[in-house]
């Protein structure tokens, strides 16, 4: 299974942008890059996913390097409610694959008022 | 749209006792997952169902854990007998289909084995 590497923790100030990096040097052609986050005492929730092009949705933006060996989750204006563990996950969409999520340690984001 | 429901939210048992967790997925979701999350770690997949059939149970400790999804809707996860190392949060998730669809997680059941 492809692996990702993320910093253990990051800090941000409220209302400032946050860039959460993820390295995935062994990514394969059928791997999609997914981000989930887990707020305290809750189950994980889907944030965004992408394959090659940058993606935007109401929650965040995903910037993917041209060689796909790294990506960055961007929160445009961090709020206190964005304090969570953020997981970068490679999900194989190839045929015959179950598409299961393999969670690593994630990045714990602290947002300071 | 109602989310994934799980019960109970908390459970404390002694080692060697048995325990069962219940999950009701989002209506219409064919795929159901059970994850185990030990404190300080990311969730680990235990078992994946597609309708009422098992797709992946490679990480399920089958000597003590069992799961079923009768009629392809609700699911139960059982531990018998429990060990101290089973203390964790058990998360249920569902998705419309496997592979390409996002997973929706329930709030989890926090199990403490003493």
Residue A93: per-residue pLDDT: 74
The single residue listed with the structure tokens 């139960």 is B76
Of the candidates A45, A49, A106, which has its C-beta nearest B105's C-beta?
A45
Residue A95: per-residue pLDDT: 65
User: Cis ω on the peptide bond leading into residue B61 (within 30° of 0)?
Assistant: no
Residues of chain A found within 8 Å of residue B23, distances taken between Cβ atoms? none
Residue B44: per-residue pLDDT: 95
Residue A110: per-residue pLDDT: 97
Instruction: Using an 8 Å CB-CB cutoff, list residues of chain B that contact chain A.
Output: 4, 33, 41-45, 48, 55-56, 91, 93, 98-100, 102-108
How close A19 comes to chain B (CA, Å)? 21
Residue B70: per-residue pLDDT: 83
Interatomic CA distance for residues A45 and B1, integer angstroms: 15
Burial class (CB in 10 A: 0-12, 13-18, 19+), B57: middle
Q: How many residues does chain B have?
A: 114
Residue B43: per-residue pLDDT: 96
Encoding tokens for residue A29?
């052609």
Residue B72: per-residue pLDDT: 84
Residue A91: per-residue pLDDT: 86
**Stretches in chain A below the pLDDT threshold 50:** none
| Residue of chain B with shortest Cα separation from A103 | B42
Q: Which residues contact B94 (CB under 8 A, 6 or more apart)?
A: B4, B25, B26, B29, B31, B32, B33, B103, B104
Taking the Cβ of residue A100 and every Cβ of chain B, the question of whether any pair is shorter than 8 Å is answered with yes
| Residue of chain B with shortest Cα separation from A38 | B42
**Stretches in chain B below the pLDDT threshold 70:** 1, 98-100
CA atoms within 13 A on the CB side of A51: 7
Interatomic CA distance for residues B34 and B48, integer angstroms: 7
For chains A and B, CB pairs below 8 A equal 54
Residues of chain B found within 8 Å of residue A45, distances taken between Cβ atoms? 104-105
């Amino acid at each position: 299974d492809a692996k990702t590497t993320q910093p253990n923790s990051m800090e941000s100030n409220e209302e400032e942008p946050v860039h959460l990096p993820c390295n995935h040097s062994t990514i394969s052609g059928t791997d999609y890059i997914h981000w989930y986050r887990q707020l305290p005492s809750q189950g994980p929730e889907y944030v965004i996913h992408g394959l090659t092009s940058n993606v935007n949705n109401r929650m965040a933006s995903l910037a993917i390097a041209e060689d796909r060996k790294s990506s960055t989750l961007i929160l445009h204006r961090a709020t206190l409610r964005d304090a969570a563990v953020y997981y970068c996950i490679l999900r194989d969409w190839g045929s015959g694959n179950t598409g299961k999520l393999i969670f690593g340690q994630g990045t714990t984001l602290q947002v300071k008022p | 749209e109602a989310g994934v429901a799980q019960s109970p939210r908390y459970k404390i048992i002694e080692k060697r006792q048995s325990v069962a967790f219940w999950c009701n997925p989002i209506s219409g979701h064919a795929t159901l997952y059970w994850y185990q999350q030990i404190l300080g770690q990311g969730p680990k997949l235990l078992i994946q169902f597609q309708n009422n059939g098992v797709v992946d149970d490679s990480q399920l400790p089958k000597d003590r854990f069992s799961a079923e999804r009768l009629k392809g809707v609700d699911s139960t996860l059982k531990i018998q007998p429990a060990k101290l190392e089973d203390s964790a949060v058990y998360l249920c998730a569902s998705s419309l289909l496997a592979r390409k669809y996002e997973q929706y997680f329930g709030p989890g059941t926090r199990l403490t084995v003493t």
